[in-house]
Structure 1
Amino acid sequence: MNTNSIDLPLISGIQQVGIGVSDAHNAWGWYRKYFGMDVPVFEDVATASLMTRYTGDEEHCRHAILAMNLQGGGGFEIWQYTSREPVPPGKMPCLGDLGIFAIKIRARDVEKAFRFFEDEKLDLSGKIEKSPDGRKHFFIRDPFKNLFQVIESDSWFSKNKDLTGGVAGFIAGVSNLQKSMKFYQELLGFSDILYHLNNCLGEDLPNLDQSKQIYSRVLLTSNAELIGAFGQLLCKSEIELIQTKNRKTTHIFEKRYWGDLGFIHVCFDIRGMEKLELKAQKLGYNFTVNSTGSFDMGKAAGHFSYVEDPDGTLIEFVETHKVPIGKKLGIYLNLKKRNPSRPLPKWMIKLLAINRVKK
């Protein structure tokens, strides 16, 4: 493949999922132990001055940690308000409610992961099930009431002793399946349909919906090659959209701020922010936040922006400019000088392990 011929914008995959918590270090300790998110990319305390559109028109201070699992997949941006008490949802989100309902976590051996979590007496939702495309999975809640789907995956960057890898995708509730599919297919390039079910009961989700609602659901993925600096690390990802057919839904973040408790955004690693903004505008999706240049995030820096899906779920784009590959050795990588489509060598990404924090 001639990487010089790749057109921008380029979306490499899910970089991270934002998780609003009340205690960032406590949450990170749990995510290190059970999801292997033990490599910090940055830790930063600052004011979220560009996000006032979503924080009540006021600037608020926050503490953020971006951590990765080097087996592959997206990371977690663990996000804590330091200037106000974060607000929980008014009620426990139900399947089909609008917004990010659950995060998909990749696993090689779902049964082994399930047994370990069961032995640890974690909050498992039922038993191992099979998804409509035949993959094993189960659901687990963290101590902060966030829901994760541990699902069988064959897309990996490396291998270690962790039972799970990083983020494999997410499940989102939508109000109009066709409209939301159009957004994720056309703007984000998740054009391949792995399954599309209408008027189903969600047979593999029995313990998440005791009321036996009727749903339409679709699983999308991208067939694009894993290119871009971090494409191989981020691996293949998927987006599952679910629309309930016979129940009035509410938005999971209704009457709350971005950064409050729960899944606050999904972030995609990209190159070519200006061209992506033009593409979004042509499709009718305007950026709602744009840092318009390099923005410092602790030891890292990049250009970030936000767009809303048709139901107002926040999607972030980050074009990374500088990243600490080996902080302890003083090694920083300037990505602005690299071919945007060329993957970083595996040995270079594995240097991130120098920063690993013990579980």
Structure 2
Amino acid sequence: MKRVAIVGASLAGVRAAQELRAQGYDGGIVLIGSEAHLPYDRPPLSKGFLAGTASRESLDLLDAGDLASLALDFRLGVRATALEPANRRVVLSDGGSVHADGVVIATGGRARTLPGAEGVHTLRTVDDALALRAALVPGVRVAIVGAGFIGAEVASTCRSLGLDVTVLEALPAPLAPVLGPELAAVCARLHADHGTDLRCGVSVAGVDAAGVHLADGSLVPADVVVAGVGMTPMTDWLAGSGLKVGDGVHTDAGLVTDLPQVVAVGDVARYHADGAGRRHEHWTNASEQAPVAVANLLAGRTTRTYTPSGYVWSDQYAGTLQLAGHPRPDDVLSFVDGGPSDSSFVATFQRGGETVGVFALNNAKLFNRLRRQALRRTAVV
């Protein structure tokens, strides 16, 4: 294998490049990115960078030493428009192409927005963050559609800037399908305790200059509207490639596609294990998948399978939320330190007498201990 093309200058793409070198690959690596920027970290976009307390340079995933040791051939500001496996070629939007013996798909996704809504902000890229930050001037009223991690973090940042914030959520409580009703109520309390107007069980009908119109006919006045309603995997460019796509790039349990010289990692990878397809949109997942995918790419077949830790964290207001494992809302929730009304606690999720998840609010020490000792790294979902 003389050259590997990594499509996506994302965290997952960078980790794949690092793993290629760490696993002894000394051939050429081409890193293709649709943005003009060198690879950067995304979690601070909704936090310190949006608030103006973190610099642009602090986002960079690679320093000068990394750039020298990885010896990457960057193709930035261009999109991959096609994959031609028979020709071992990735076609680019600038009319060029990259010949590669192996391909790592790390294209992530694009932020969903609200149908027919002009001027609504999303937050997926550094340019998105810069545009939103410029709009967050003193006195503006902010409406955020979606109370997931991104929506909650943007709300937290906006409140830290002294802005009036309303969060609109279609679910009965934030993150209820993941955390269950009791912990979802804790997330709702964080909003209330910090002056955010959280409205759950509402449906958005439209957005205009006056604000957000709800399906019940009411209006939420807003000068700035942010959509935090998830993302769509970027797979359009793979049409005609022969790869199976649908809510991501389909792979086996080792992140290998139907073509052994093509693997997928990060938000775009929909891997199949135990007969089910799964896709995770977490920072940790993007990092954890790279060693497995790269090992299989270099081997030319699946020699390792991926077991996710399910770890995710979120900084909201004065709280740090941490979750590990694969809980379901119907799992048995037990508080092992503190309780749901406390500012710091740890809880576990039990299923069939086994710990399948650990959740903490402002208690990283105990969380990490339970994560190591009590939580088995199994792909139970």
Question: Which protein has greater RCO, CA pairs closer than 8 Å, 6+ apart?
Answer: 1
TM-score, normalising length: structure 1: 0.26
TM-score, normalising length: structure 2: 0.25
**Bigger fraction of residues in strand:** 1
**Bigger fraction of residues in helix:** 2
